Structure 1
Amino acid sequence: MMSNKRLVTVCVFITFCNVAALVLFFKFNAHERCVVTINEDQEVSAIVSNEFLSIGIDTSEIENYRKIDFTKSRFRKLAAALAPARLRIGGTMSERLIFTKEDQPTATCEACPKNNSKFLPFFLMTGKKWTEINEFCKATKMKLLFSINVMLRDAAGWNDQNAIELIQYSKHRKFHVDWQLGNEPNSFRHVFNVSISPHTLAHDFKHLRQILNRHGYKHSLLVGPDTTRPQEERPECLRYMIDFLSNGSHYINARSWHQYYLNSRTAKLEDFWKPETFDLLKTQLETMHDHTSKYANIPMWLSETSSSYGGGAPGLSNSFAASPLWLDKLGLAARYNVTTVIRQSFFGGNYSLIDSNLNPLPDWWVSVIYKKLVGNKVLYVNCQCSRFQRMYAHCASRKYTNDTTAITIFAINLEMAKAKFLLNGTALHGDNLSIDEYIISARSNNRYTKTVLLNGWPLYFESSLPDLEPNHIKYGNHISMPPYSIGFWVIKNTSIKVCK
């Protein structure tokens, strides 16, 4: 029979072991709140274009000829890293742009129409600048999308003469261009004190389509109407889109609209990281899809989009603070079959991807890594987690791996806590998985930073794109991400069939 002393000793030992086991359990599982399920028997839910992640430059940036040098080697390298993509030249000032084939950058705008807005004067874009833009696109493998001025109007309606001059000039030089007509027409009354009805704009689009067909651009895309995002408090925004499509759907190749989350003048850091802000886009996508479903055969584009309207919030829209919103937008847009997302902007404003010294900002790095890893086939992933973790799945980019079973999942963690995910589902086999991991984070969790870390190392662009090396994880069924971070994981050797 065991003595009391020995019994106490054994009890203490067992208690110690139990406590140790609990400590170990909580150490490795305390943050395992997320279960990720990906099954092998699924269909591709959407297929986005090769130019899905694209870029824009506001028309106002080319008003000053010295602002952007499209011939500069570093500028071209930074753009080429995002190819294939579209480059959209558009914005409010597209309604002030007058084309002249004269190559004198000092030319005046004496022939311009009388200005109807004292705040927004007309300006000239010369043939030389137009040629620079087109040569830039050719060199960087970008497809140019250009917004033509629809506010050149007379008693008969839209005056097409300047558009014809631009189109003829472009065809003569064999420029490859897709086109738009007007920018946010539902806001013309507010900006220019002039209104153009959806019916009238549809007629102008029909007329432009005929001009393009006659002048050698029969196969060019015509994209519109570029209305603002649907809002409950402003039903006229959505109404304009619906009325335009009912009159002009036969003349466009993509139905396009603009999306922003926040007001740049009032946005705070916390606004960029609230789940409620992220949910705005989901609601807007569902609203636009539901109300334009009869035109589902026409691809939907977000032809201008960023975190906050009004040029971007200083110190926020161009820092790591805005990166989760950008990646989540790419995930949500693809899930809802938006085939092209054009980021405002590549250069210029407080929401740019590169700064005035041509140094890449956090969202440029996020975009480059997205292009490197994410394919255009969208998969279904079930992520049982909190509102502060959001996850998406695609087939992996074939440029990254030849493994036809490889998938890429990407996620954001909006919490000041580590997030740990258990990989589950019939497509995933923990004993045979090979995972390439890319974690983007901020040093000391400083979300205002403009220098981000990849797997703990700061990212810099010297004269060329650095090697972006992953962490390699083998034979595991867990992935994790630190507080306030973004993660990409390429998972190989899955049982997915639809990526072949």
Structure 2
Amino acid sequence: MKLVLLLLFFLRAHSDPGPRPLALHTDRAQDPDPDLDMDLDLDLAAVRHRVDPRFLSVTIDASLAEEERFMLLLSSVKLQTLTKALSPAFLRFGGTRQDFMKFEPQRNKQQLNVTAESCGHTPPPWWLEEELKRDWAKYQEILIQEDLKASYQRVQFTASTVDQVYSFCSRCGLDLVFGLNALLRTPNNTWDGANAAALLRYCQSRGYHMAWELGNEPNSFKKKAGISVDGEQLGLDFAHLRKIMSQFQLYGRAGLYGPDISQLRDRRTNILDGFLQTGAESINAVTWHHYYVNGRETSLKDFLDPEVLDTLGEKITEILEKVKGASPIRPVWLGESSSAFGGGAPGLSDTFVAGFMWLDKLGLAASMGVDVVMRQALVGAGRYQLVDLNLDPLPDYWLSLLYKRLVGPEVLKVRVFSEFGQNKRIRVYLHCANKKSSSSGAVVLLSMNLNEKSSIMLLPSSISSGPVEAFILQSDQPGEGGVCSRSVMLNGAVLKMVNDETFPDLRGARLPPTDRLLLPPFSLAFFLFPEAGAAACS
């Protein structure tokens, strides 16, 4: 059978709104290299792991509340449209600045130009939204400089911030996880929970169902604030918070997550060990943070390097072993994660090439047993956001949206073989398909090609007898240099919102039964098999 899926090169936009034919664009494609042919072995009989239905979740950086007027951006119709499409998910409101924020419920909202009517229910007038976006673009540069200098100002936030973020989550179908300040300490260096209790009291009075965290990256407290907290004390602080939560009807059984350490290295390992000894019984899941590279020192080569991608598996293994040894029933979450720390890498973390790190992280984390991955960030200061400063989707948003629509929580086993040995530049994961959008027994193959040449994936007979729906993501620019574009194509058509409330056509290209699939150069792909009949997915 001669490369039947050379068909699979890309849909171009047509005026006909119905199903569109596939065409091969020889100016964009390269002949497949037989050295890159891969044989796939799929196990459709058993579920390997089942992640939380909210597996792909997002964060909003607490820096948005440094000037509380910026919280009005959460009332944007466009942002709410984009966020609703990622439900179900958690939304973590936190980050570095949560440990420099104090709740001041009595401050006058009118002084902040925030009114009760603006709390997420009524979008700001267009001129105000445009003004806020312009001011935010300037202000985030100040925040980035604060991060570079590790010098942070103390911030007081009012009930308005809480109202805005809760209303945003409620309207968008997200479950809120609110980060509390762990640097409010007593003279004995124990956590002072009085301010947290005031916040919980307010939230209960409003009937806000939400979960909590305490502190962000405690291993960096010394650098950020000149305060050291060891793991044992941190665990006791969480136990103290759990006791406070138990005094409130809404929060006695609410989620509490932590300790949100950075990836394991040196003292961070000791913090996690100590925390698990004294705090594991207080939390619902163990959280840690992961970034592949330093955003100020990285390069395009790093973003396309399979050895860099493989470092995540090493860290996951280490974390899972520690948690299993100390508290085996606790789920493990990536509580904050993106491509590059330090606010992301300009021209990389906000472009198409970041999708290789993002899709591989989602595939690998799920296959290894991580239950939730929270993407830093939906909006906030930095260069790794899912939406840009105009609140328009960046490439990783479109990748996340397709993941949400197509991929179910059940992880299946897939193995890749080649007569030339393992090719780490071809990476493949397998899930049951999302049952909300696919029939029972359907499966979806998550794939990526880090090569500059096309590759063929050879399918087993168990799956090759039915049709395939292909969703191929590529940069709108050709070649390796083109992967740094901020635009992405789905099956050959550039993705762009029709308007603030309308998505473009996100249908896949329906292909006839075949025993081989083509992965174009530098591509990300979802292949949906709607008639696979997988026993594990029925």
Could you state the TM-score of these two structures normalised by the residue count of structure 2? Answer: 0.83
Q: Which amino acid aligns with 2:60?
A: I
Q: 2:352 aligns with which of 320, 344, 348?
A: 320
Q: How does 1:129-208 map to 2 (within 5 A)?
A: 129-156=161-188, 157-208=190-241
Deviation sequence 1:327-347 (CA, Å, 0-9, x none) = 000001101111110000001
Query: What secondary structure sits across from 1:174 in the alignment?
Result: coil
Q: In the aligned structure 2, how far is the partner of 1:120 from the partner of 1:82?
A: 32
Deviation sequence 1:297-327 (CA, Å, 0-9, x none) = 1010000000000000111101111111000
Q: 2:70 aligns with which of 67, 70, 93?
A: 67
Q: In the aligned structure 1, how far is the partner of 2:401 from the partner of 2:107?
A: 35
Q: 1:381 aligns with which of 414, 421, 430?
A: 414
The 1:159–1:420 alpha-carbon spacing in structure 2 relative to 1, beyond 3 Å, is same
Structure ID, larger Rg:
1
Q: Answer whether contact 2:150 2:224 (CA < 8 A) is retained.
A: no
Q: In the aligned structure 2, how far is the partner of 1:182 from the partner of 1:28?
A: 50
Partner residue of 2:94? Answer: 90
**Which stretch of the first structure deviates more once superposed, 350-359 or 54-63?**
54-63
Residue 127 (str. 1) matches residue 167 (str. 2): no
Partner residue of 2:256? Answer: 222
Q: In the aligned structure 1, how far is the partner of 2:333 from the partner of 2:195?
A: 27
Deviation sequence 1:63-102 (CA, Å, 0-9, x none) = 1223341111111111111111111011111110111113
Query: What secondary structure sits across from 2:459 in the alignment?
Result: strand
Deviation sequence 1:208-266 (CA, Å, 0-9, x none) = 101111112012100011111013xxx22122111110111110000010000000101
C-alpha displacement of 1:296: 2.5
Q: Answer whether contact 1:103 1:128 (CA < 8 A) is retained.
A: no
Q: In the aligned structure 2, how far is the partner of 1:87 from the partner of 1:79?
A: 10
Q: In the aligned structure 2, how far is the partner of 1:39 from the partner of 1:124?
A: 53
Residue 284 (str. 1) matches residue 315 (str. 2): yes
Query: What are structure 2's unaligned runs of at least 5 residues?
Result: 1-29, 113-148
Q: In the aligned structure 2, how far is the partner of 1:123 from the partner of 1:274?
A: 40
Partner residue of 1:113? Answer: none
Deviation sequence 1:414-452 (CA, Å, 0-9, x none) = 010001110016x32x3x311110000012231111110
Q: How many residues align?
A: 458
Q: Which amino acid aligns with 1:49?
A: D
The 1:396–1:378 alpha-carbon spacing in structure 2 relative to 1, beyond 3 Å, is same
Partner residue of 1:14? Answer: none
Q: Answer whether contact 1:419 1:481 (CA < 8 A) is retained.
A: yes
Q: Answer whether contact 2:32 2:454 (CA < 8 A) is retained.
A: no
The 1:202–1:309 alpha-carbon spacing in structure 2 relative to 1, beyond 3 Å, is same
Q: Answer whether contact 1:31 1:420 (CA < 8 A) is retained.
A: no
C-alpha displacement of 1:154: 2.0
Larger RCO: 1 or 2 (CA < 8 Å, sep 6+): 2
Q: 1:359 aligns with which of 367, 371, 392?
A: 392
Deviation sequence 1:248-293 (CA, Å, 0-9, x none) = 1110000010000000101111110001110110110111112222
- Alpha-carbon RMSD across the aligned residues, in angstroms, is 1.7
The share of aligned pairs that are identical, in percent, is 33
C-alpha displacement of 1:31: 5.8
Q: Answer whether contact 1:182 1:225 (CA < 8 A) is retained.
A: yes
Deviation sequence 1:182-202 (CA, Å, 0-9, x none) = 111112112211101111111
C-alpha displacement of 1:119: 2.1
Residue 394 (str. 1) matches residue 431 (str. 2): yes
Partner residue of 2:518? Answer: 480
Partner residue of 2:486? Answer: 450
Query: What secondary structure sits across from 1:214 in the alignment?
Result: coil
Partner residue of 1:6? Answer: none
Deviation sequence 1:101-140 (CA, Å, 0-9, x none) = 1353547xxxxxxxxx992121111111210110110000
The 1:301–1:27 alpha-carbon spacing in structure 2 relative to 1, beyond 3 Å, is closer
Residue 275 (str. 1) matches residue 306 (str. 2): yes
Q: In the aligned structure 2, how far is the partner of 1:315 from the partner of 1:365?
A: 18
Q: In the aligned structure 2, how far is the partner of 1:118 from the partner of 1:449?
A: 31
Query: What secondary structure sits across from 1:260 in the alignment?
Result: strand
Query: What are structure 1's unaligned runs of at least 5 residues?
Result: 1-25, 108-116
The 1:32–1:266 alpha-carbon spacing in structure 2 relative to 1, beyond 3 Å, is closer
Partner residue of 1:491? Answer: 529
Partner residue of 1:46? Answer: 49
Q: In the aligned structure 2, how far is the partner of 1:415 from the partner of 1:62?
A: 42
Q: Which amino acid aligns with 2:234?
A: L
C-alpha displacement of 1:49: 0.8
Q: In the aligned structure 2, how far is the partner of 1:27 from the partner of 1:278?
A: 26
Q: In the aligned structure 1, how far is the partner of 2:224 from the partner of 2:150?
A: 11
Q: In the aligned structure 2, how far is the partner of 1:138 from the partner of 1:218?
A: 21
Q: Which amino acid aligns with 2:328?
A: A
Partner residue of 1:345? Answer: 377
Query: What secondary structure sits across from 1:489 in the alignment?
Result: strand
Query: What secondary structure sits across from 1:158 in the alignment?
Result: coil
Residue 100 (str. 1) matches residue 87 (str. 2): no
C-alpha displacement of 1:32: 5.5
Q: In the aligned structure 2, how far is the partner of 1:27 from the partner of 1:350?
A: 35
C-alpha displacement of 1:40: 3.6
Q: Which amino acid aligns with 1:147?
A: G
Q: In the aligned structure 2, how far is the partner of 1:472 from the partner of 1:457?
A: 15
Q: How does 1:362-441 map to 2 (within 5 A)?
A: 362-384=395-417, 385-402=422-439, 404-424=440-460, 427-428=462-463, 430=464, 432-441=465-474
Q: Which amino acid aligns with 1:388?
A: R
Query: What secondary structure sits across from 1:307 in the alignment?
Result: strand
Q: Answer whether contact 1:272 1:321 (CA < 8 A) is retained.
A: yes
Q: In the aligned structure 1, how far is the partner of 2:34 from the partner of 2:424?
A: 17
Query: What secondary structure sits across from 2:537 in the alignment?
Result: coil
Q: Which amino acid aligns with 2:444?
A: T
Q: Which amino acid aligns with 1:131?
A: D
The 1:28–1:100 alpha-carbon spacing in structure 2 relative to 1, beyond 3 Å, is closer
Q: Which amino acid aligns with 1:219?
A: R
C-alpha displacement of 1:378: 0.2
Residue 37 (str. 1) matches residue 16 (str. 2): no
Could you state the TM-score of these two structures normalised by the residue count of structure 1? Answer: 0.89
Q: In the aligned structure 2, how far is the partner of 1:315 from the partner of 1:29?
A: 30
Q: 2:509 aligns with which of 471, 479, 486?
A: 471
**Which stretch of the first structure deviates more once superposed, 170-179 or 196-205?**
196-205
Q: Which amino acid aligns with 1:254?
A: A
